[in-house]
Amino acid sequence: MKTETGLFPSAKKALGQNFLVHEASLQKIAGLVCRDTRGTVVELGAGTGNLTMFLARVCARVIAFEIDERFILWHQRQQILPENVELRSGDILRISYQALSAETGEKLHLAGNLPYNISTQVVFHVCRQRPFISRAFFLFQREVAERITSSPGTKSYGILGVISQYCADVKKVMDLPPAMFTPRPKVYSALVRFDFQQKIEPCAVNYDFFVKTVKASFSQRRKKIINCLSSYFGRKKPEMELALRTSGISPDIRAEDLEVKEFVVLSNCLYKALGQSGSPSSVLP
């Protein structure tokens, strides 16, 4: 791949750009994405158009979003994208999947080699709009993929994993070495599938409060969950202990040992006990 004076604009480190160039992997990913649909696929971050081109071969329509105007202008000049691709300028952290779903007339299928620096934010954004999404295939740094798919009791298990696994059935599909990308990253990447069709029981009565509860529980990883909740919500320990015991959770346990369903039960109990007054004393980023 050449630089801005040649074939493509150069990757911007500030935008977390690392482009997948290995054709066999691109073909495999496109096949996985489009296996369950012959309709529209929404690509998050078109970049050089490498994945876009392969998606266009097997899907009826591709709506590709790109925030870097250099690539938008380059594609406009080169006109290499197939007719079934619509390239849109836009911030993938501001996409309304409800509007896109209404536009296409179906739940969405998403794909993307996500910028490393905003990949977790994209997951939270997508999870919050999950009613309008069917499936997603995203490329992450392998460490982030492990956090998304990790199990309770492991070092990688935390906020990202609990929220992802509540919203979707998640599975790491394949690893990709640095040599398959340009510029070459320092770490491995991994493809993760999100299936948003699952139905979690029990269900969180308030999704935003569920997220708040998970953040509160992991706010001080090495401490017992009762201390984390008490500090985060600004409530006395006896009140938090009652909520925990009502939820069937020991006050002495740590957040990384709780199952996703236990977080849901705890969230529902706290929401009932604290209601709208359950504002945290501090907000995690």
pLDDT the model gives residue 37: 78
Q: What does the pLDDT profile of the chain (285 residues) look like in tens digits?
A: 443 434 667 666 666 678 999 999 999 999 999 987 778 999 999 999 999 999 999 999 999 999 999 999 999 999 999 999 999 999 999 999 999 999 999 999 999 999 988 999 999 999 999 999 999 999 999 999 999 999 999 999 999 999 999 999 999 999 999 999 998 999 999 999 999 976 677 899 999 999 999 999 999 988 999 999 999 999 999 999 999 999 999 999 999 999 999 999 999 999 998 875 555 433 322
Ordered by where they begin, the domains of the chain are 13-195 (3.40.50.150), 207-277 (1.10.8.100)
DSSP-derived 3-state class of residue 34: helix
pLDDT the model gives residue 12: 67
C-alpha distances in angstroms, 189 versus 19, 43, 143, 229, 244? 11, 18, 8, 34, 38
Burial of residue 92 (number of CB atoms within 10 Å: 0-12, 13-18, 19+): buried
pLDDT the model gives residue 281: 39
pLDDT the model gives residue 4: 41
The pTM is what?
0.91
Alpha-carbon gap, residue 123 to 21, rounded angstroms: 23
pLDDT the model gives residue 197: 78
Q: What element of type H or E holds 31?
A: helix 23-34
Parallel, antiparallel, or unpaired for β 169-176 and 133-141? unpaired
pLDDT the model gives residue 274: 87
**Full 3-state SS string of 160-225:** HHHHHHHHCEEEEEEEECHHHEECCCCCCEEEEEEECCCCCCCCCCCHHHHHHHHHHHCCCCCCCH
pLDDT the model gives residue 280: 43
Angle 27-30-32 from CA coordinates, rounded to 5°: 110
